[in-house]
Structure 1
Amino acid sequence: MSIHAVSPLFVGRARELAALGDALVRARSGVSSTALVGGEAGVGKTRLIKEFTAHRAGDALVLVGGCLELGTEGLPFAPFTAVLRGLVRELGRDGVTALVPGGSSRGLARLLPEFGEPGKDGAEARARLFEQVLGLLERLAEERPVVLIVEDAHWADRSTRDLLTFLVRYQRTAARLLIVVTYRTDELHRTHPLRPLLAELGRVEWVTRTELRRLTRREAVALAAGILEREPSPADMDLIYARSEGNPLFVEALLNEAGAGEALPESLRDLLLASVERLPEETQELLRVASAGGQRIEHDLLSAVARLDESSLSRALRPAVAGNVLVVDGEGYGFRHALIREALHDDLLPGEHTRLHTRYAEALESDLSILPAPRGAIELAHHWHSAHDSTWALVSAWRAAGEARKSTAYDEQLRMLSRVLELWDQVPDAAERIGCDRIDVLRQTATVAHQAGEYERSIALASAALDELDYDADPIRAALLLRQRGLTRYDLSRPGNVEDLRQAAALVPDDQLKLRGQVLESLARMLHRPEERSERQATARLAMEIGHAVGDARVEAHAMISLTWGHACYADMDQQLEAFAQARRIAYRDDAYNALMRCAISESDALEGSGQHERAAQVARDGVEGAVQYGLARTSGTFLSINLAEPLVSLGRWDEALQAIEQALDLAPPAPYRASLQGLATDIALARGHFDRAEQLLGSSRSVLSRGNYRDQTVLPHLCREVQLLVARGQLNEAVEMAARALETRDLVSSPRYSWPVLVTFAQLVWAVVPSTQLLEVVAPSGRAPSGGGASLGALARLALSLLPGLRKIGWDLGAEGDLQHAQRLTFSALTGPETPLDGASEPVAWQFEAWDLAVGAWGALRQPYAEARCLVGAAQAALASGDRQGAAARLVRARELARELGATPLLEQLDVFARRARIAGSGGGSDEGGDGQPLGLTAREQEVLREVTNGRSNREVAEVLFISVKTVSVHVSNILAKMGVSTRGEAAATAHRLRLFDLEP
């Protein structure tokens, strides 16, 4: 009777196997998903995956890559390098290159040297690599379903985790892609980096998470029967199940030990090593050598370290493979289970441990090509470090950092550079060994920490280096460090960023032109305040000249963009557009993709700011397409989607804008980009009366903006939305208080483009609170004695009116540059009155009629239908107040046409009530209101009560004003709520304000 080392029966995993099969069926139909499969060591994750790929995968392309342990860290991008290498073996390098979007595989060279030299390093290098990997999977999935399996994610380094997260989040762009990730749950201690990643991915809609349980006793018996080819005795099974606790690996190991006629091992370590100890001594020695090399070891490397000829090596290996301790894996070998390797490695004596790692290091030193880059350099550093050789550990870590940089494995590069710093004092001639002193290492580490997102650490490292420097004796390095710290402080919105760059610029010697250009270009980008405008222009111009002189296309292009933006004049765009075109030509020369994207962003933003919405949308749309081509769709592409959606919102193409927003949000953009996209969706939701949706979107944006310091272009539009939602919800007190705080605390002068919408929103808020008959004398005084109507205003209306002086002062001090700002200023003027009081002969109504018509014409010329329709309401009111009923009707008809096309329900409701109250036939609102012409079926007395409720008065205050009892007021309020279909006084007031019930009397 034979005993199988591994059960031929697959036991106890039918449900999990079916779930993977169902996921693949969905992938075949075009619905991609991810399955996270966890479980303790030995519970059967690998066996489940093998059964799935062998019996359920069918014609699907199965790509398998495992994370490799190296000491306490994983190798960067190990599973994806393995997948790519397998594809090259199957399709050839040219075949893989043909599948990469854009036809350039230089990004993949960061994973596999077969693709040549990587492209230039830079901020976009990693983004392009990630995009190319996803694009490759997308193209493969066009031919047949793809199953990407990433095993042992508990060993994944940060670079691997980042790429895996990217692929999972964006996999829905690739139809027919199933991602399966396995990991050990017993490895996930409280601070393990995989824990937050699993939690994050678990919230993604198309991700499922399964944890394999241990086997039941019945399942363990079935497993044992498959191994023994007979039913085990109940006594044996009782002991085996008690010892294994249902872990399949331990059940198999215990059965094999029992079958060998030996006593069952006492400890887990003994159990794992028992199968090894039965092997020949030379095989055991070889396995101890192999254990120091990691879970998987290449044949040539094992041969070199074991110092055996091919015949002796084969003789020693064969029993290990036959005994199922080692398995053949491509051009190398892997331990059947990581626990076996760990037990062997832990069993090494201290001297044996040092000797073996030294032999590995020496073998790699003699021929680093045994392993692919950057794995070879990183493993070499690991072995010298494990051998406790400080000198060579430092040298090899320095080299490994350079290899990791080529792969954009920033976290691994940071770890290697940090090791260099840790070992520095232990190696007296460290600087001579690596050709670099400690300050340079600190500077490089600060730069990499910034790239890895470790901003605080980057600042600390740069500051430490600066503390050791004599600026006068070493101005170049001081400038480099100050530039790095300034850039990091800028990303963190920390003070001192501009000062660091100014100091750096002052330190760069005149003969260091290239560095001077880089520092000046960085400084020009950071100078945003109005008082810095002239400095920004001078700095950008100088940087551009230097970039041109030294042939640095990136500096020249970026500086030209900054210079053009510094000139920003929305009234004259031709010169700006030519400058942007020139910057684009310069960037193309050097494949400066980041500059190309920034040019598209800046140009589309400038066009939108000038009111050229169609052209802005086209530039942004072209930029989004370019971002896809350059491999930057999820970064620059999503930012450009903001610049595409904004002009579409302006043009009233709201459904098209929402489509662009949703497509960008599907790419899971960075949080600030997401907040801006959701802000534009909020604008549409507010205009269409989808207030619950607006509140949800605004809450999401609010949570993002609360965690950082953002510029006016983000903060001020958000402020407008907050106020507008409060008004829509009837929370007028809160809206007025928010506006009052903003006027006291915010700078509404520095950014006219973003300040004008705030001023208009606040002015509209005053109109929403104060009845127009009483507001008119305030906003357009004629010089005659006031009627004194303000004395009857409620507390809320008086508070709202108190905003006007501050609003008017800011508005008349604020410049209006370009057609868009001019239209906003005209609207503001119609809402708040002329800059100087009218003379005694002028009629406020006539002035306001003209003011509203001017605003209507300005918005019509800009083709902004929503703003035009809203101003038409004011123009119709003014026409009606001046006795021009026909003019009022014409304006109402036009406003209704615009509002209906937009789906602006609240505005349509307001227009309908206006038409009925004014008894204007033919405007779409009808004129049959009932005998007294009251809106919403309200009686005259109920409308009086509603007016006072809308002014914020309590039932008792209403009773005093109208000279009726409190009980009568209560009855009227109940009737009002019923007729208006609302449940609270606040909702009734909000509806009255939205419909302008008290502003529409002739």
Structure 2
Amino acid sequence: MPPASPLIGRTGELARLREAFARLPGAVLVGGEAGIGKTRLVREFTAGCPAARVLTGGCVELSAELLPFAPFTAALRGLVRELGVSTIEDLLPGARGLSRLLPEFGDPDEIPAAEARARLFELVLTLLDRLAERGPVVVVIEDAHWADRSSRDLLDFLIRNLAGSVLVLVTYRSEALHRDHPLRPLLAELDRIDRVERLELPRLTLAETRRMLGEHDPARAEQFFRRSEGNPLFVEALAGEESAELPESLRDLVLAGVRRLPEPTQEVLRIAAAGGQRLEHGLLSAVTGFGDAELDDALRPAVTGNVLTVDGEGYLFRHALIREAVREDLLPGELTRLHLAYARTLEERPWLVPPGRATAELAHHWHAARDLPRALESAWLASEEALRSAAHAEALALTERVLALSGRVNSGPDRILVLRRAVAAADLAGEFERGIELTTAALERTADPVVRADMLGYRGRMRLHLHRAEGADDLREAVALLPEHPPTAARARALASLAKYLYKLPDGMPEALAAAREAVRVARLTDDPTAQLTAMMTLALRDDRPDETRLALFAEMEPLLGRCEDYNEVLRHKLATSHVLEGAGRHEEAYRVALDGQREAVSYGLGRIMGTILAYNTAEPLVSLGRWDEALQVIDDAVERVPLNRHLGSLRGLAGEIHLARGDLERAASYLASAWSVARRGPVRRAEDLFAVLRLEIALRLAEGRPDRALEASALLLESGRMVDDARYAWPALALTARACQDGETLAPYLERAGALPVIGPVMAAQRLTFEAECAPVTGTGPAWIRVAEAWREIGQPYREAYALLRAVPEDRHGASDRLERARKLAADLGAAPLLAEIEELRSRSGGATAVRGLTAREVEVLRELAEGRANREIARALSISAKTASVHVSNILAKLGVSSRGEAAAVARRLGL
């Protein structure tokens, strides 16, 4: 096969890559059939970016089966070779966490497996950010159609969270993506991101084929074009053909260049093809039995002929199609013997491959060699290594291989032990359906109460993740299996887990509190700070106790934080503390605690999970304080981190409320649609998530002038069961709903709902006052709006204060101009355009009231309606007050104006220009 030809026919595609590089950050997904020139295009582009640092890693067929994070390990190993471990450690505090990809960084930290993966992803992202501070970075991931799930997840995470001068290039074979291929949904999702573009490479035209061949004979060029179908790899292979007699198949065409090589070279290529796309020199030497000089002599023609390329300390087939064709040319027995040779060599000399790869490659080769006992043993070891590397999906696949092989051989680890590892991997990988099947299988095979309790705990949590209520029964049974005496840490943790999950369920609070109290008692006896903290958190989060009592309990937990094994619980302490502070009206403190927790989460590598939840708690007090631009920035940053779906609804609901208050109904409607798409999933919901979206819908329908639609939405307030923090989030939704109620019959069920809600702390007290004031036009009684305004002012919520001040003006003319001016200033500072417009309109309409003897602003409004000849009931409907209230206002107007009839009052109104 001749040396590679000049790049032909890719001018436009090369220009698009350069444009993407000019507007960093970004990503380009480069697709096309095998041999179309994807790798060649990317290399041509990166060669033209001398100022950029290029990190390249490729996926191989083995990676999709056993070798997790293969492309990222390869890319980062190249960086380590270039910079050295110490430089990266200086660049990236916490670089030890990269040991899950690169053993050069030492042993991984001992942290819960659920945290390890999130930390690893954050570390890789942070490393790219730090490198980008020194100059542009191009990350190339080749052959993504072979990517393992962990690599796909990391790629997804990086592309969505790119910042700074980073460009990610991903190549994949488009014809390999069958309907159920796992890369397809990822590409579809990434394609929706603004900074991501797809680039599909077409085949060469006849003219481009002719140029590539350098062929002057038009007939011969056309014949070669028809045979190659414009595929550059095949065109290149044809360039070596002396005659127009073409090979019968494309595989023969690819092999033609190989078959022209000397026989010793072909023999080495056959051995190499069984090993993989890339092979280390030492490993190839050991398997072939060639000495270094002899191997060099055999390989040089393959490198000169552009079949192999030198890659660091090893060799790489120039194209996967060449390797595939060579491997397919091997006889079945020959291929099996070669896999056996690789396995024996790696077992004796694992250092012949890069650190961290030997175990996975051994599992691959023993399995391909059909040595079942050794395939089982090596898969078991590889599954353990995958778990250590936070490659949970791959650990599950390997453990399931062990389960399958153990049924065929009479050896291997205990089946219950294998099932327990498979269950843990399924749980961590989010494969809950499969995890439930595995736990059920384990429960059928063991009577050991400790093992059964462990499996029931897993199954219960996974069932609850899938919104299956029977999960709670599993957690209860797990506790029941563990003896009370002597007290054990296992029982403490089972009780703490039961309490944590039950407290989230409707009507689960009483049982959750009892379990939590028992968990605290047992955890203290067994000195288990993790179980104690988890259980105390549940006790502190109960929403029927005074805020100060709950905050005191949080303070009592602080000595446990440094000893807790589960960092998620440490961050949950920050989350819960800020939550209660916000409910207590201590917005500034709530903001600072949540922000501190959010920063800790990001630095610890949990920014996408706990950091996102804390982002809501950071934004919520900012909204209360009227710092809306800051709140939107916090929300945007959180959404950019691609949070879990269950956290998106409340974030979008909060952002939508800000946009609605500023008058952007279109954007608010967009946020509402996306928020509902998340919040409506599954029957088990949090009040915080559900009512945040519900508030937005009710407010939007009112802003659209559709109280009927608002009431349709608010019906969910009556349907929802008891949830944690129900009162805190239901009160503001009820206050909005009251605005839509025009009569007592409509309002009655909401009055009943409100009557059953507790009022804890100043925020709920202000919400209840607001609700009662909104109900007054129908009920005929309620607190004065000035009292409502004072309540909001005391806890520092400017938007709600401005709204209440506006509503207070018609009630009492005394001081009305000052109240309107304060309301105007508050609304203007917030950018609350609709509220500001309403205030300005009332100021304008009330301007003539000073010439009217003692009339309040509301009485001026009634007088204006009276002048139009409306009866009391019509006035009531127009001003959203009761007929009785309208009648009282009319009587007061007649008395203050000194007139005896409605007609005389109307005449006065006309003289005043009302």
Partner of 1:449: 426
Distance 2:506 2:8 in 1: 72
- Counting only pairs closer than 5 Å after superposition, residues 6-405 of structure 1 correspond to structure 2 as 6-26=3-23, 31-54=24-47, 56-70=48-62, 73=65, 75-100=67-92, 103-119=93-109, 120-171=111-162, 173=163, 175-225=164-214, 231-258=215-242, 263-405=245-387
Q: Give 1:443 deviation, angstroms.
A: 2.5
From 466, 469, 484, give the equivalent of 2:443: 466
From 746, 751, 769, give the equivalent of 1:808: 751
Partner of 1:502: 476
Range moving further from structure 2, 717-726 or 541-550: 541-550
Distance 2:118 2:63 in 1: 28
Report the count of equivalent residues.
872
1:707 aligned counterpart, secondary structure: coil
* Corresponding letter in the other structure for 2:332: P
Q: Give 1:610 deviation, angstroms.
A: 1.6
- Counting only pairs closer than 5 Å after superposition, residues 503-902 of structure 1 correspond to structure 2 as 503-509=477-483, 510=485, 513-528=488-503, 532-550=508-526, 552-566=528-542, 569=545, 571-573=546-548, 575-589=549-563, 592-709=566-683, 710-740=685-715, 742-743=717-718, 747=722, 751-766=726-741, 770=742, 800-832=743-775, 848=782, 851-879=784-812, 885-902=813-830
* Corresponding letter in the other structure for 1:565: L
Partner of 1:424: 406
Q: 1:208 to 1:804 in 2, by over 3 A?
A: closer
Q: Deviations over 1:358-378 (max 9, x none)?
A: 111111222223223542211
Partner of 2:911: none
Distance 1:740 1:458 in 2: 37
1:816 aligned counterpart, secondary structure: coil
* Corresponding letter in the other structure for 2:631: A
CA contact (8 A) 1:374 1:407 kept: no
Distance 2:241 2:512 in 1: 77
CA contact (8 A) 1:873 1:895 kept: yes
Q: 1:145 to 1:451 in 2, by over 3 A?
A: same
Q: 1:813 to 1:247 in 2, by over 3 A?
A: closer
Distance 2:383 2:393 in 1: 10
Q: 1:544 to 1:21 in 2, by over 3 A?
A: same
Distance 2:487 2:294 in 1: 61
Q: 1:505 to 1:372 in 2, by over 3 A?
A: farther
Q: Give 1:689 deviation, angstroms.
A: 2.5
Q: 1:397 to 1:744 in 2, by over 3 A?
A: closer
* Unaligned segments of structure 2, at least 5 residues: 881-913
CA contact (8 A) 1:749 1:814 kept: no
Distance 1:445 1:90 in 2: 38
CA contact (8 A) 1:68 1:74 kept: no
Q: Give 1:758 deviation, angstroms.
A: 2.5
Distance 2:274 2:687 in 1: 57
Q: 1:748 to 1:218 in 2, by over 3 A?
A: closer
* Corresponding letter in the other structure for 2:676: R
* Corresponding letter in the other structure for 2:12: R
Q: Give 1:749 deviation, angstroms.
A: 10
Q: 1:938 to 1:455 in 2, by over 3 A?
A: farther
Distance 1:749 1:558 in 2: 17
Q: Give 1:168 deviation, angstroms.
A: 0.7
Q: Give the TM-score taking structure 2 as reference length.
A: 0.89
2:12 aligned counterpart, secondary structure: helix
Range moving further from structure 2, 123-132 or 559-568: 559-568
1:348 aligned counterpart, secondary structure: coil
Range moving further from structure 2, 618-627 or 655-664: 655-664
CA contact (8 A) 2:159 2:168 kept: yes
* Corresponding letter in the other structure for 1:606: V
- Counting only pairs closer than 5 Å after superposition, residues 907-986 of structure 1 correspond to structure 2 as 907-919=835-847, 940=868
Q: 1:809 to 1:10 in 2, by over 3 A?
A: closer
Q: Give 1:919 deviation, angstroms.
A: 4.8
Q: 1:20 to 1:908 in 2, by over 3 A?
A: closer
Q: Give 1:933 deviation, angstroms.
A: 8.3
1:730 aligned counterpart, secondary structure: coil
Q: Deviations over 1:766-823 (max 9, x none)?
A: 2xxx3xxxxxxxxxxxxxxxxxxxxxxxxxxxxx421333233332332211111122
Distance 1:732 1:831 in 2: 14
Q: Give 1:564 deviation, angstroms.
A: 2.2
Q: Give 1:480 deviation, angstroms.
A: 0.7
CA contact (8 A) 2:419 2:438 kept: yes
Q: Give 1:858 deviation, angstroms.
A: 1.8
Partner of 1:980: none
1:669 aligned counterpart, secondary structure: coil
* Corresponding letter in the other structure for 2:795: L
Distance 1:619 1:718 in 2: 25
Partner of 2:902: none
Range moving further from structure 2, 498-507 or 306-315: 306-315
1:458 aligned counterpart, secondary structure: helix
Q: Deviations over 1:588-626 (max 9, x none)?
A: 345743122211111111111122111111111111221
2:562 aligned counterpart, secondary structure: helix
* Unaligned segments of structure 1, at least 5 residues: 226-230, 771-799, 838-843, 880-884, 953-1001
Q: 1:738 to 1:266 in 2, by over 3 A?
A: closer
Distance 2:820 2:32 in 1: 68
1:327 aligned counterpart, secondary structure: strand
Q: Give 1:73 deviation, angstroms.
A: 3.2
CA contact (8 A) 2:530 2:563 kept: no
Q: Give 1:934 deviation, angstroms.
A: 9.8
Distance 2:507 2:723 in 1: 15
Distance 1:611 1:513 in 2: 40
CA contact (8 A) 1:483 1:500 kept: yes
Q: Give 1:942 deviation, angstroms.
A: 9.8
Distance 2:367 2:786 in 1: 79
Distance 1:332 1:254 in 2: 28
CA contact (8 A) 1:508 1:516 kept: yes
Distance 2:182 2:560 in 1: 42
1:181 aligned counterpart, secondary structure: strand
Q: 1:364 to 1:942 in 2, by over 3 A?
A: farther
